[in-house]
Amino acid sequence: MIAPPLSDAARLAATIRRVAREAGATAVAIADATRSIETFERLAASFARGDLQTWGYDAAYAARASDPAAILPGARSVVCVAVSYATRAPARRAPLHGRVSNYAWSADYHVRVRGILERIAHEIDDVAGTTATRIACDTAPLAERAFAASAGLGWIGKHTNLIAPSLGSFVFLGEIVTTLALPPDIPLRTSCGSCARCVAACPTGALRGDYTIDATRCISDLTQRTDGIPRPLRVALGDWVWGCDLCQAACPPTQLARSVANDAFAPFAADGAAPSLVALLALRSGAYKRRYRTTAMGWRGAAVLRRNAAVALGNGLDRAAVPALAVALSTDPHPMVRGHAAWALGRIGSPRALAALDERAAVERNAGVRGEIAAAQEAWKPLFPVRR
Ligand code: B12
Ligand code: SF4
Ligand code: SF4
């Protein structure tokens, strides 16, 4: 039998796939750029519930993110790539060391994924001539998971991440929106069925089990906030200082894909995945820029990492952390860090920790920090009523 000739669009799609793989994409698929009403409704419902409160997304954002034409007038196709960042698990963690999520312990993925996308976009320009393209990887209002799912790149799990067949969910996404009409791929017909392991693994109850998330409870969001971490959620953070992998680590398709390892995303340094919390608590702006500017942890500032280190030290319940926390409480220039150090000292609750709280209570002027100190002391009052 003689194979029918490929149309120009199909030939171009095949070239795009080849170039994408050569450039470093682990998987590539194409979606129609038609506005998705289902995506709009899901996003708008999530924002109306307040799930993404910390991100300020609203119905207008939902309308833009579900319509590629909002970022590129005349958009016809969305080329979606997945870049695996699965890497071998780091060595066992040591006491007084925190935990950084898989996605942030190496070179900033935005840079790498953008490089791949730019190469594909150049190819499209070269081959197709007058087409317009727009690149997206966290940088444009586009529901990246939804378009990747509609391209058949994978399916959205109850942990809300896109799971790619044989790669699992440890994949970054990136898209090229183009005015070129390319033959779209077919969406997968897969769902989680009765599995709910990710829901059980989530320590904060962020996952509802209906493919939605209350992101205000997600550790990934909490560790990136620039204001305080709500007191009732601090214990659930455990030793995470940036991001969280627990729901994905519990996910069977992701576990099955463990053998896939992309060395481009291996930890920068031994302490990249498990940094010393005492060192992190003392991190100042200059060292922060040198150490973290080239990672996905390099955009919220040093004080956020010091705050997260304080919480993780409090959760470690190790008295060896008390001297460093006492120094942070009395000298850190940022009230948010002093406040969380007070919380951590209260959680450890050793005589030295409680003494540090008493000493600072006598001189602290910031009302927020005074409130944190008082709350930390309060917890111990029934045990030591004569102390104060
Ligand atoms: C804001 C944001 C966050 C927030 C909110 C996360 C969230 N789940 O919404 C926080 C800070 C918590 C976060 C955390 C993480 N993020 Co984030 N994040 C984003 C960002 C910038 C916007 C996401 C957004 O609009 N959320 C709003 C919700 C309502 O929409 P959504 O999750 O995109 O998709 C929903 C709809 O598409 C809808 N949907 C639409 N059609 C359909 C059809 C069906 C059948 C179903 C079931 C659902 C469905 O369901 C989806 C799930 O709720 C995207 C980049 C982008 N522009 O898309 C990256 C992105 C989603 N994040 C990413 C990553 C890697 C992470 C983390 C894994 C990092 C980490 N280890 O800490 C965690 C995962 C936490 C989790 N369980 O979701 C990747 C996800 C890759 C993947 N495989 O899915 C993205 C795509 C960045 C990228 N370019 O690679 N993130
Ligand atoms: S990333 Fe962590 S906190 Fe967020 S939903 Fe997954 S398990 Fe829960
Ligand atoms: S753990 Fe189970 S329920 Fe959660 S995303 Fe993975 S397959 Fe789906």
Residues 305 and 381 in one domain: yes
What are the tens digits of pLDDT across the range 188-209?
998 999 999 999 999 999 999 9
| Proportion of the chain above pLDDT 70, given as a percent | 95
Q: What is the pLDDT of residue 23?
A: 93
Residues 13 and 82 in one domain: yes
The candidate with the shortest Cα–Cα distance to 80, out of 182, 7, 170, 158, is: 182
Residues 8 and 107 in one domain: yes
Residues 242 and 302 in one domain: no
Q: What is the pLDDT of residue 132?
A: 84
Residues 187 and 292 in one domain: no
Judged against a pLDDT cut of 90, whether residue 238 lies above it is answered with yes
Q: Which ligand is nearest to the CA of 160?
A: 1
Q: What is the pLDDT of residue 125?
A: 86
- Which tokens sit at 329? 């409480």
What are the tens digits of pLDDT across the range 240-279?
999 999 999 999 999 988 666 777 888 877 788 999 999 9
**CA–CA separation, 105 vs 270, rounded Å?**
10
If one counts the domains in the chain, the total is: 2
**CA–CA separation, 326 vs 345, rounded Å?**
8
Judged against a pLDDT cut of 60, whether residue 24 lies above it is answered with yes
Q: Which residues line ligand 1 (CB under 6 A)?
A: 38-39, 42-43, 46, 52, 55, 101, 103, 137-138, 142-146, 149, 156, 159-162, 169, 171-173, 211-213, 215, 218, 220-221, 224, 243-245, 247
CA 216 to the chain's CA centroid: 13
Residue range(s) defining the domain that contains residue 163:
1-271
Q: Is the CB of 207 under 6 A from ligand 2?
A: yes
Judged against a pLDDT cut of 60, whether residue 3 lies above it is answered with no
Q: What is the pLDDT of residue 258?
A: 65
Judged against a pLDDT cut of 80, whether residue 130 lies above it is answered with no
Q: What is the pLDDT of residue 21?
A: 94
Judged against a pLDDT cut of 90, whether residue 352 lies above it is answered with yes
Q: What is the pLDDT of residue 308?
A: 98
Q: What is the pLDDT of residue 113?
A: 95
Burial state string for 68-83 with b = 16 or more CB within 10 A and e = fewer than 16 = bebbbeebbbbbbbbb
388: pLDDT confidence band, cut at 50, 70 and 90?
Answer: very low
The mean per-residue pLDDT over the stretch 13-29 comes to: 94
Q: Is the CB of 369 under 6 A from ligand 2?
A: no
Domain boundary among 248, 271, 294: 271
Could you give the residue numbers annotated as active site? Answer: 138
Q: What is the pLDDT of residue 19?
A: 93
Domain boundary among 246, 271, 296: 271
Residues 282 and 262 in one domain: no
| 133 DSSP β-pair partners | 178
Q: What is the pLDDT of residue 131?
A: 73
Residues 250 and 370 in one domain: no
Judged against a pLDDT cut of 70, whether residue 108 lies above it is answered with yes
Q: What is the dihedral of CA 175, 180, 182, 188, to 10 degrees?
A: 30
Q: Is the CB of 199 under 6 A from ligand 2?
A: no
Q: What is the pLDDT of residue 4?
A: 58
Judged against a pLDDT cut of 60, whether residue 67 lies above it is answered with yes
**CA–CA separation, 244 vs 219, rounded Å?**
6
Judged against a pLDDT cut of 70, whether residue 10 lies above it is answered with yes
- Which tokens sit at 362? 């006598």
CATH (domain of 360) = 1.25.10.10
Mean pLDDT score of the chain: 93
Residues 245 and 301 in one domain: no
Q: What is the pLDDT of residue 93?
A: 73
Residues 205 and 122 in one domain: yes
Q: Out of 145, 158, 219, 222, give the residue to mutate to test ligand 2, the one with the largest number of ligand atoms within 8 Å of its CB.
A: 219
**CA–CA separation, 64 vs 146, rounded Å?**
13
Residues 252 and 317 in one domain: no
Q: What is the pLDDT of residue 127?
A: 82
What are the tens digits of pLDDT across the range 282-340?
999 999 999 898 899 988 999 999 999 999 999 999 999 999 999 999 999 999 999 99
Residues 248 and 312 in one domain: no
Domain boundary among 234, 249, 271: 271
Contacts of 218 (CB under 8 A, 6+ apart): 204, 206, 244
Q: Is the CB of 220 under 6 A from ligand 2?
A: yes
Residues 14 and 162 in one domain: yes
1: pLDDT confidence band, cut at 50, 70 and 90?
Answer: very low
Closest atom of ligand 1 to 224 CA is 11
Judged against a pLDDT cut of 90, whether residue 387 lies above it is answered with no
